[in-house]
Structure 1
Amino acid sequence: MTRKPVRRSAELPTEAVLREFIAEAGTRLRKGDIARAFGLGPDQKPALRAMLRNLERDGMLVRAGGRQVRAAEALPERCVVEITGTDRDGDPLARPVGWDRQGKPPIIFMLPEKRGHAALAPGARVLARLRRIDDDRYEGRTVRRLDEEPASIIGVFRAEGEGGWIEPVDRKSRAEWKVPPGETAGAESGDVVRAMPLPAFGYRPKPARIAEHLGRMGDARSISLIAIAALGIPADFPETAIDEAKRARGVRPGRRTDLREVPLVTIDGADARDFDDAVFAEPAGPGHRIVVAIADVAHYVRPGSALDREALKRGNSVYFPDRVVPMLPEALSNGWCSLRPGEDRGCLFVEMIVDAEGRKLSHQFGRGLMRSFARLTYEEVQGAFESGWEADLPDGTIDHLYAAYRTLLAARQARGTLDLDLPERKITLDEAGRVTDVAPRPRLDSHRLIEEFMILANVAAAEELERLRQPCMYRVHAPPSPEKLDSLRNLLATFEISLKPGDQLHPRDLDHVLRLVAGSDAAPLVNEAVLRSQSQAEYAPENIGHFGLALNSYAHFTSPIRRYADLLVHRALIAGLKLGTDGLRPEHADGFETIAAAITSTERRATDAERQSADRYLAAYLADRIGEDFGARVSGVTRFGLFVTLDATGASGFVPMALLPDDFWHFDEADGTLSGTRSRVVFRLADPVLVRLREAKPVTGGLLFTLIEGGSAPGEGGGQHRRLPARKGGRKPGRAPARHKRSRR
C-alpha cells in the first residue's frame, strides 16, 4: 500500500490534518496504520480514537469493514435521487438512490422547478445536478424526471387555418405552443385543452399535440377544471373504490356507546353537503362538559382497501365555488359518513371537562352510535343566540354552547395565540356557473365556536395518543425563520411599528402587532405580511408543537371525511383503546414519514388550486368592466411596478412601470417605496390608489391596471388620492437604477 510520506511526530495531528491524510490515502486504514504514520504512542491512541469517532459522527469518514475506516466520498456532480418529503417551506427533499454506504445518506435540497411542472411528490425519481453545500448537504437541480410522462400543457386553443395555437393557463408562461395541422383532435377556438409537447428543432415555435378536451373557456364551470387538470388532482374514482363505497351499510350498536339521546347538533355553512362533526355542551360544576362526535370513517375505509388507496392518493378534498373534488366517493362523503339529522350514524367521540377558565381537566374517547338532533347553519345559530329563540331545540342548547365557547376563548387569549384577520372571499355563482357576486365571507362567533371546540378535540386526540404510546400524525407549525422575521420587521418599520428583537418570539408578540393596526387602513396588509412570515403548517410523525396556536401537542381528528391525516388519528385511537379490529396496525406506522410528506404536498396542492380558481373567477367577473375605475390599496412595491388589491372584491392585479405616470421612477428597497423624480410622488405599501382596469384574463387569472390617482408627497403618509398626469406617448418604462441591490436571501 503506497501512502503519502508523513513526517513522524509525537504530536497529535489536528482533525483537519487527520481528515486530509485519510482522504489522500485513497484506501482503507486501520487505527494502527494511522498511529504509525504519525508516530503516535500507546498513550495517544485513546485521543486518536476520539478524533476518529468525531470525524465519523460528522460524516467525514465511514466504517469500511472490521476496524477499518475510509474517507466519506462526495456524491457525483450528476446523480439519480428520490424525493423523500418537503422542508418547512414546501420545497422537495431528496436522497441518493441505491445508497449502500454506512451512515445516513446526505440531505439534498431540491431547487424549485419551472412553473407549470407538477410538484415533485415523495417517491419520484429525477436525474439531478448537485452542488455540495457542506459535508452532508447538497443543493439539487432537476435535469430530467425519470418516472413519468412528459409534462402536459393546459391552455386555451386558438384555431388558425387547419392548426392553431395554445395559450397556456400559467400566467408566468411566456411561450405559446403551435398546434400543427392534423394535431388538433377536433378542438375549436376557445376550448380548454390538454396537450403534449412534440419534438422541436431549431428556433421555431414549440409544437404540441392536443390530447384531451377539458371544456369551453366561455363556460365558467371550466375554471375549476383548469386547476384540476393543471395540478394533476385526481377527480375520478376507480370502479373498485366506488363499489366498496356502495356496499357500505349502517353500523350496529354492538359495544358502541349509545349517544342517541344526547342532543348533538351539526353546525356548518349553508352550502355544506357533508356533515362530519357534531357538538354538545352543558354545565358541569363551575365549568362545562363538551362532547364532540366525528363520523366513523375508519369503519368504512379499511387499511389497504381500494378506498384507502384512493383516499391516500388524494390526501384531502378540494373545494371550488362550483364543485367539490372529494377524498371519498359520494356514497360515503354524503351518505353513511355524513351525520344527517334523525339518522343513526357510527362515530368516534370525545367527552371533555373544562373548568371555568376554559382549561381542559379531562377527556375520554369512545366509539359510539349517535343521531344528530338538527342540522344548523352558522347564521341560524348566531341568530338564535342573539334573539334568545332556539326553535325546536332542547332548552339551553345554544346558550350552553356559547357559554362553553366563551371559556375556551378566554383560555385561548390567556395562552397567547396568533389570531390573524384575513377576510375570506365568497364567490357566488348563478345556475349557469357565472359569477354574480364577490364579497367577504362573514366571520361570526358561531364560526369561532366550532373552531374552538374542534381545536380542543384535536389537542385531546394528540395527548391521548401520547398517553397510549401510539403513533400520531401530528399537525405541526414551526416558528418563523430569522430571515422571514427580518423581512417582517423591515415592513413593519414602514408603519413605525417595532417587533421584539431576536427570533425567540411568542405568538402573542405577533398578535400584539395585529392589535396595534386593527381597524386601520394598514390592517389587511399587515395581517397578510404576518401570515407570509409564518412557516407553513405540515403533517409529521415527530412532534415540534404548533407555534400559531401556542400548543405543545396538536393533531387533526375532526374531519376524516375530507382529510387522510384525521383518518390515521382515528385508526391509532381505535388500536390504542382497543375499540375494534379496524385500527392502525404496527407495520403501518413505519410509513408515517412518507405519508406525512405526501399529504402535506396534496394539502398545498389543494390550496394552490383553490387560490388559482378564485383568481380566474374574479378575472371572469371583471372581464366585462374593462375601463372602469376601482378603489384599491398598494399591496406590493417592486422595481417593475405596483401590485394593488381592490377594496370591493379583494382581487389583486399589477400596475407595470409602463402604465405609471410619465416620470423617472426610483425604487428604494430598504424603504419599500417607489418615488417619482419630477412629480415627487411616493408610493408605499397600503397607500390608497384609484386604478383603471386595462386587461382581465380569465385564462390565467391575471389583471392589469393603469394608475389614475394615489401616492403621497415625501414625508407624508398615505391616505390621500393625488391626481396623476397620464403617461404621454408609447411605452416608456422611465426606470431609474435602484439604490440597493435586491437581496438574494
Structure 2
Amino acid sequence: MPSREEILAFIKKNPSKANKRDVARHFKITGAARIELKRILKDLMADGLVEKRQKQMLLPGELPPVFVATIRAASSEGELLAEPQNWDDALGTPPKVLILPEKRNKSQGVPALAIGDRVLLRLADVDPGAEAQFCARPIKKLQRQQDEVLGVLSIDPLSKEAILSPVDRKQRELNVDPRYLEGAKDSDLVAVEVVKAGRMRYPQARVTKVIGSMKSEKAVSEIALYTQNIPTEFPEAALAQAEAAAPVSQGKREDWRHLPLLTIDPADAKDHDDAVYAEADTAEDNPGGHIIYVAIADVAAYVTPGSPLDKEALKRGNSVYFPDRVIPMLPERISNNLCSLRELEDRPSMAVRMIFTAEGQKLSHSFHRVIMRSAAKLSYQQAQKAIDGVVDDKTGPLLEPVLKPLWQAYDALKRGRDKRAPLELDLPERKIKLKDDGTVDSVFVPERLDAHKLIEEFMIQANVAAAEQLEAKRAPVLYRVHDASTPEKLASLRDFLSTMSIKLPTIGGLRPSVFNHILAKVAETPSAQLVNEVVLRSQAQAEYTPQNIGHFGLNLRRYAHFTSPIRRYADLLIHRSLIRSLGLGKDGLPDGFEDKLDVIGGEISAAERRAMLAERETIDRLIALWLCDKLGATFKGRIAGVTKAGLFVRLSESGADGFVPASTIGTDFYEYVETAHALTAVHSGETFQLGDSVEVRLVEAAPFAGSLRFELLSKGQIRKDVHAHLRGNRKPERRRRPSKPHGLKRTKPKRR
C-alpha cells in the first residue's frame, strides 16, 4: 500500500488521472486492498489535503487539466486573463489563468477571443509570469451565457396567459408573469429575465425590455445583435468623454482649407470619414500625371489610447450596418459630429498626398496632419450624373474645377489597376428598401457606378501608402491580409472546373489574373454566376495581423486599413502609428503597443466576422418576414448551393435564399457529386447543379430563423459528365427517401 505522501505526489503530477480507479491502477492495488485505499483517500479529503471535483481528486487550489473559464481582463502585456467558471469560493479568490495565443495558420483554430467570452481550456506547462497562476491553451470557444432571453410574446386573449418563444430554438419556452408585461403586446419582441423556475413546469419570467412588433426592422436587427453578442449601449464613462470633447483647433496642423476636397458617399450616409481632391501634375518630368489628395477624419485626436472611448471602440471592433440604423463603433458625438467631415465646416484630418504617372504608377506620397474644409457633400449618384452631363445647383460649379480632374485621375489609376490585375469577381450585393413603418418595401441590387469605383480605388491607394510609409519607418503595422487559396480548395475548384471543360493550372503559384481569365471566359454565359460563386468559395478570408503575407485578392504586397477610423478600429491604430513614427503629435501609438497587435488583430477580425453575420442574418430575417404572406407563390431563381441534404436556391427578383430538401426532389435516388457541386439521380441521370436556373414554390417561411423552404418545380438536366463522376464514386453517400404515409406502397425505379 502506498503512503499518503506517494498518493498526494501522484495526484499532483497526474491531475488528468486522479480518480480512485486510476490511483489503484497506478499502484497495482487489487482485491480487498481497494478498501484500504478508499479509507486513505477519504482521510486525505477529511484533512483538506485533497478535494473531489466531478469524480476527480485534485489538490486544493489546483485546476483540472481541462476546464471552462470566463475571460475577465487583459494583462499589462495585452494578453487575455481568465477565471475558472466552477470555482469553490471557500478556496478563496479564483486563480488567474493566462491564455496562450493560438498559432497562426492552424488547420482548425479557435475563433478569436475577447473579454467576456467563455472558453474551454487545457492547462499548459508554461510559466504564467507575475499576473497569473496558471497558463492554458484554448480548445473551444463556448456560447456566452445570456443574462436575458430574447423572444416573441404570445398572449392568450381570454386567459391572458403569456408565453415567450425564444428566438434561440435551443432554449425552452417561458411563462411570463402577466403582472410584469411592462406594456408588451401580443407578437411583440421582448427581452425577459428568469425569476423562478421549476423542474416540472415552464420557468417564470418578467419582461425587462419591449423592443416592438416583430414586423419592424428594429426588432429583426435586435435579434441579430442579441444572438451575436454585439454591444449596443455605450458605458457612461465613454459617453461622458465624448460629450466633454471640444473641437480641435488648427495648432501646428497644416492648413488645407483652400483645397476643394469633396465627400462622396451614399445618399443616406450620416458620417463622412473621407474626402478627395485631384489635380494635374505640372512637373515636367511627369507628363500627364496627377496629384491625388485623400483626407481622413482624425479620430486619434479625440480617442486617445487607453481612454474609455478607446476601450469601447476596441471591444466593438467596427460599426455594424442594418437597413435602417447603424450600431456605431464610437458615440454619435464623435462619429457623426466632431470627426465627420461635414460640408463647409473645419475638421482635423490625417491626409495623404500622392503623385501618380499617366499610367497610374505611384511615384511618391507624403502624410500630413491638417485642418480641412469639405467644399461639398455629394452622393455617388449625384457625382455620377454630373459627369454624365446632368448637373444640379451644387455640382454645376464643381464640374470643371473639381469633378472632371477627379475622373481624369481615376482614369489613370484604372490603367494601373488593370496592369495590377486584382481579382475581379462579379457578385452583386442585394439591398433592402424599407417603408416608413420599418417593414420591407422592396429588395434590389444597386447599380455599380464609376463614382463607387473611383472612391474605392482612391482609398486602396491611400491604404497602400500607409502600409509602405510605416514599413519604411520600421513602425508597427496591423496589416489587412488576404492569403492565397489552400491546396485543398484549389483541388476542389479544379475538379469543378473540369466538369465545364475549363482547366486550372496544377503547378506554380496562382495569381488573381488566372482566376480573372476564367471569369472572363464564362462572362455573358449562363454559367457566369455559377463560376463566380465557386471561385469566391475557393478564396481565403481576409483578416488583420501584424505578420504581412500580402493581399491576394487585391494583388498587393502590402496593405493596411487607413481610410475609415470612424467605423474600424484597425484604421485608428494605423493613424496612431503614423502619428508616432512621423512625429505628428503626442497622441500616437504608445511605446510597446506593438506586442499587443497580434491579439488585437485576432479580436477585431472576429468582430468583423460577427458584424457581417449579424448584417446577413438581419437581411435574411427581413426577407422571410416579407415573404410570409406569399406562401404558395412561385418564383424563378438559381441554385446557389448544393449539399448532400439538398439545394439552396436564390430567388432572381429579391435575392432571397431558401432550401429545397433532397428528399422532396423527384422520385429517383439523388446523390451528391462534390466535384461538380451537383445532385444527380442514380438511375435517370437527372442533375441539379450549382448555377442552374429553376422555378420553385414557397412552402414555408420562418422569420425567426430567417429561413425559407421551397418546393422544386423544374426538371433537372441530363449531364453525362456529372453522372460519370457519380459512377466513379466507389462509396456513394445516398440520401434516404422519406417514409411514405401509411397504406401507400413504395415503388422502386426499374434498374437497367
Q: Please indicate the TM-score interval, normalised by the length of the shorter structure.
A: 0.7 to 0.9
Matched, 1:637 2:642: yes
Q: Amino acid of the residue matched to residue 554 of structure 2?
A: L
Choose which of 225, 230, 234 in structure 2 pairs with 1:228. 225
Decide which moves more: 395-404 or 610-619: 395-404
1:78 to 46, 49, 66: 66
1:466-493 alpha-carbon deviations (Å, 9 max, x no partner): 1122111211111111122222223323
Confirm or deny: 8 A CA contact 2:622 2:703 kept in the other structure.
yes
CA contact (8 A) 2:646 2:660 kept: yes
**Structure 1 pair 534/163, CA: closer, same or farther in 2 (3 Å)?**
farther
Which residue in the other structure is 1:439 paired with?
444
Match of 2:562 in 1: 557
Number of positions where the alignment pairs a residue of Structure 1 with one of Structure 2 = 637
Residues of 2 paired with 1:268 and 1:449: CA distance? Answer: 11
- Label 1:344 to 1:227 Cα distance change in 2 as closer, same or farther (>3 A): same
Cα deviations by residue, 1:164-203 (Å, 9 ceiling, x for unpaired): 5544435xx4665343767975654322233567998989
State how far apart, in whole Å, the 1-side matches of 2:483 and 2:217 are.
39
Do the aligned partners of 1:158 and 1:190 also contact (CA within 8 Å) in 2? Answer: yes
Instruction: Say if 2:292 is the partner of 1:290.
Output: yes
Per the alignment, residue 498 of structure 2 pairs with 493
Aligned to 1:374: 376
1:272 is aligned to: 269
Match of 1:467 in 2: 472
How big is each residue's C-alpha offset from its partner over 1:557-615, in whole Å with a ceiling of 9 and x where there is no partner? Answer: 11111111111111111111111111112133332222211111111111111101111
Whether the 8 Å CA contact 2:66–2:122 is kept in 1: the answer is: yes
| Alignment match, 2:167 | 169
**1:400-411 correspondence runs (5 A):** 400-411=405-416
Structure 2 residue corresponding to 1:532, chosen from 528, 537, 547 = 537
2:260 to 258, 263, 278: 263
Tell me if structure 1 keeps the 8 A contact 2:150–2:190: yes
- Name the residue aligned to 2:243: 246
Q: Any conservation in 2 of the 1:688–1:711 contact (CA below 8 Å)?
A: no
Deviations 1:130-168 (A, max 9, x none): 999xxx9988246x78xx645754332334666555444
Counterpart residue identity of residue 217, structure 1:
M
Contact 2:177 2:204 in 1 (8 A): no
Letter in 1 for 2:378: L
| Paired residues of 2:344 and 2:374 also in contact (CA < 8 A) | yes
Deviation at 1:246, TM superposition (A): 2.4
Q: Which residue of 2 aligns with 1:337?
A: 339
CA separation of 1:208 and 1:663: change in aligned 2, threshold 3 A = farther
Match of 2:729? Answer: none
Please, which of 149, 152, 160 is the counterpart of residue 156 of structure 1? 152
CA distance in 2, matches of 1:492, 1:93: 47
* Cα distance in structure 2, aligned partners of 1:305 and 1:179: 43
CA 1:131–1:469 in structure 2 vs 1: closer, same or farther (change >3 Å)? closer
Letter in 2 for 1:508: S
1:140 is matched with which residue?
A: 139
Query: Post-superposition shift, 1:332?
Result: 1.7
5+ residue gaps, structure 1: 1-22, 24-74, 86-91, 719-726, 738-745
1:19-30 to 2 correspondence within 5 Å?
A: none
Asked if the contact 2:694/2:714 (under 8 Å) is kept, the reply is yes
In 2, Cα distance between the equivalents of 1:480 and 1:299? Answer: 39
C-alpha separation in 2, matches of 1:688 and 1:131: 54
Distance 1:196 1:488, change over 3 A: farther
The CA distance in 2 between the partners of 1:485 and 1:634, in whole Å, is 22
Query: Which residue is 1:305 aligned to?
Result: 307
8 A Cα contact 1:110 1:140, kept in partner:
no
Question: What is the deviation of 1:453?
Answer: 0.3
Matched-pair contact (CA < 8 Å) for 2:119–2:140: no
Shift of 1:661: 3.1
1:164 to 1:521, Cα distance in 2 relative to 1, 3 A: farther
Question: Letter of the aligned partner of 1:423 in structure 2?
Answer: P
Deviates more, 1:237-246 or 1:567-576: 237-246
Q: CA deviation at 1:643?
A: 1.0
Match of 2:709 in 1: 704
Change (3 A) 1:542 1:129: closer
Deviations 1:46-79 (A, max 9, x none): xxxxxxxxxxxxxxxxxxxxxxxxxxxxx97525
What's the secondary structure of 2:250's corresponding residue?
A: coil
CA distance 1:586–1:729, shift in 2 (3 Å): same
- Give the 3-state SS of the residue equivalent to 1:279 in structure 2: strand
Aligned to 2:322: 320
Distance 2:446 2:195 in 1: 45
**1:50-109 alpha-carbon deviations (Å, 9 max, x no partner):** xxxxxxxxxxxxxxxxxxxxxxxxx97525678899xxxxxx9999997899xx988597
- Name the residue aligned to 2:590: 585
Q: Secondary structure at the match of 2:211?
A: strand
1:23-102 to 2 correspondence within 5 Å? 78-79=66-67
State the alpha-carbon separation in 2 of the partners of residues 139 and 326 from structure 1: 30
What TM-score does the superposition give when structure 2 sets the normalisation length?
0.76
* Residue pairs, 1:147-226, within 5 angstroms: 149-150=145-146, 153-159=149-155, 165-170=163-168, 173=169, 176-179=172-175, 185=181, 188-195=185-192, 212-226=209-223
Q: Say whether the 8 Å CA contact 2:549–2:557 is kept in structure 1.
A: yes
For 1:126 and 1:185, locate their aligned partners in 2 and report how far apart those are by CA, in whole Å: 35
Cα distance change, pair 707–93 in 1 and its aligned pair in 2 (3 A) = farther
Once the two structures are TM-superposed, the CA of residue 124 in structure 1 deviates from its matched residue by: 4.0
**Aligned partners of 1:125 and 1:640: how far apart in 2?**
32
Any residues of structure 2 matched to 1:418-457 within 5 Å, and which? 418-457=423-462
- With over 3 angstroms needed to count, the CA separation of the structure-2 counterparts of 1:227 and 1:408, relative to structure 1, is same
1:520 Cα deviation after fit:
2.3
Q: Distance in 1 between matches of 2:581 and 2:411?
A: 32
Identify which range, 542-551 or 519-528, moves more after superposition.
519-528
CA-atom RMSD, angstroms? 3.9
Q: Residues 663, 584 of structure 1: CA spacing in aligned structure 2 closer, same or farther, 3 A cutoff?
A: same
Judged with a 3 Å threshold, the aligned counterparts in structure 2 of structure 1 residues 194 and 579 are, in CA distance, closer, same or farther, namely same
Equivalent of 1:610 in 592, 608, 615: 615
CA change 1:391–1:631 in 2 (3 A) is same
* Residue type at the aligned position of 2:167: V
Q: Which residue, out of 121, 142, 146, partners 2:114? A: 121
Aligned to 2:357: 355
2:509 to 495, 504, 525: 504
Note if contact 1:290-1:353 (Cα within 8 Å) is conserved in structure 2.
yes
- CA 1:524–1:358: 2 relative to 1, 3 Å: same
Aligned to 1:26: none
d(CA) in 2 for partners of 1:558, 1:343: 20
Unaligned runs of 5+ in 2: 1-12, 14-62, 74-79, 85-94, 126-134, 724-737
Q: Per the alignment, in what secondary structure is the counterpart of residue 607 of structure 1?
A: helix
| Matching residue's letter, 2:347 | R
Show CA shifts across 1:708-739 (max 9, x none): 12311344999xxxxxxxx99759999999xx
Note the 1:470-485 alignment, pairs <5 A. 470-485=475-490
User: What's the CA shift string for 1:266-302, capped at 9, x where partnerless?
Assistant: 1111111111111111111421100001111111111
Secondary structure in 1 matching 2:366: strand
Query: What is the TM-score with the length of structure 1 in the denominator?
Result: 0.77
Cα deviation for residue 639 of structure 1 reads: 2.6
Change (3 A) 1:329 1:141: closer
8 Å Cα contact 1:268/1:275 also seen in 2: yes
Rounded Cα–Cα distance in structure 2 between residues aligned with 1:374 and 1:638: 50
Query: Which letter does structure 1 place at the counterpart of 2:314?
Result: L
Question: Tell me, what secondary structure is at the counterpart of 1:221?
Answer: helix
